[in-house]
Amino acid sequence: MKVLVINCGSSSLKFQLIDAQSQELLFKGLCERIGIDHSQISYTATGSEKVKKEVAMPDHKTAVSLVLTALTESGAVASLSEIDAVGHRIVHGGEKFTSSVVIDEEVIGAIEEVSDLAPLHNPANIIGIRACMELMPGVPMVAVFDTAFHQTMPEEAYLYGLPYSYYTEYGIRRYGFHGTSHSYVSKKVAEIEGKDYESIKTIVCHLGNGASVSAVKNGKCVDTSMGLTPLEGLIMGTRSGAIDPSVVEMIEKKTGKDTAGVMNVLNKESGVYGLSGNISSDFRDLEDAYIEGNENAIRAVDCFVYQVVKYIGAYAAAMGGVDCIAFTAGVGENSGFIRKLIVNRLGLFDITLNEEANKVRGEEKLISMPGSKVNVYVVPTNEELAIAKDTYALLA
């Protein structure tokens, strides 16, 4: 089954064509600056050179149309009839979706109902669905939710200390994100360990510009660091992570910003970018500056590392122990430097880092030494493959 995976952002569209049975990647690419001047599409068919060109994309429907044209022009498929299904990444499913679902009008309506929880993402996701339905009539489509994997969290983990009516009436609770990645990586760890997924305790550290940690116990997520939105939890590239809510009021009073202005600061001007004095939100730049002895970079990276260590310790306590820790996503997969800083602060777990193995970048690898009480892995995430597999499982 050939599955086209679509991931619509507010002004972008990522896409991959995957053979869900063989797990072979056939085609991938990106549409950028949709609805903005100088929009462009880039794509690569397996075995071919990368194509990149500037082309007008006033809306997502145009972008989807260009993707479908590129599929045939590149030779990835002889005709669109070869595409058996489309898998759509949906950021927020609220409490309505605990797993992936086949898309119909009822599902689209439910996604719209929770759009206020992800106003930048869900509307764009729906536009992508509508465009595909119009341009590919009759092709079955599946919605795969970032929040679904975390719906197994118990009430004690997802409720905030607010009036309970805020939850029952407005759905204010912790939902968590990066769920497709956390699900894929935790299952992969069990596979590597040769253990039953329902009998292993794993902490997944999805570390990138957006970052989150999850606790997966016996095949179920029991806690995760992101909350109502992706702003909660770890210090990230430009996001503040968890803060005292009173900080918002104080910034308003001190700077004259309104709530929207403060939220912009928390989402786009904070994190390691803000802590480093605006050196960069890219951990590669910060790593270089850290090694050179830049005090601002050292401060930012150390704060980030401390937060990751703290969540790992908390989740080990919440699960009553941990068998494996997995690093994934851009920083987790590629920065041996950051991984080493984190593991070296996990003395409680009696882990000895394999310095040579830790040099790995973007490859599946055990990076702890034999005899360590907890096995530590690098596991590249593959959210698109996970979406394709979910789509295949629902439709096969």
Position 180 in a domain = no
10 and 135 in a single domain? The answer is yes
59 and 118 in a single domain? The answer is yes
pLDDT, average across residues 189-207? 97
207 and 109 in a single domain? The answer is no
pLDDT computed for residue 387 by the predictor = 94
Last residue of a domain, one of 85, 117, 145: 145
Last residue of a domain, one of 145, 179, 207: 145
124 and 221 in a single domain? The answer is no
The pTM (predicted TM-score) of the whole model is 0.90
DSSP string, 16-40: EEEETTTTEEEEEEEEESTTSTT-E
249 and 372 in a single domain? The answer is yes
Position 164 in a domain = no
Mean pLDDT value across the chain = 94
217 and 115 in a single domain? The answer is no
Considering the candidates 59, 84, 116, 146, report the single residue annotated as catalytic.
Answer: 146
Position 394 in a domain = no
The β-bridge partners of 19 are 2, 24
Position 153 in a domain = no
CA distances from 379 to 274, 286, 366, 384 (A): 29, 23, 9, 15
Joined tokens for residue 382: 């593959």
Position 212 in a domain = yes
Position 304 in a domain = yes
CATH of the domain at 313: 3.30.420.40
d(CA 4, CA 12): 16
Other C-beta atoms within 10 Å of 379: how many? Answer: 27
d(CA 211, CA 177): 9
Joined tokens for residue 68: 């479908």
pLDDT at 120 over 80: no
198 and 335 in a single domain? The answer is yes
222 and 74 in a single domain? The answer is no
Domain tally, the chain = 2
Question: What is the domain extent for residue 352?
Answer: 194-383
pLDDT tens across 248-288, in order?
999 999 999 999 999 999 999 999 999 999 999 999 999 99
Position 308 in a domain = yes
350 in active site: no
103 and 202 in a single domain? The answer is no
pLDDT computed for residue 116 by the predictor = 82
Position 178 in a domain = no
pLDDT tens across 77-105, in order?
999 899 999 999 998 998 888 889 999 99
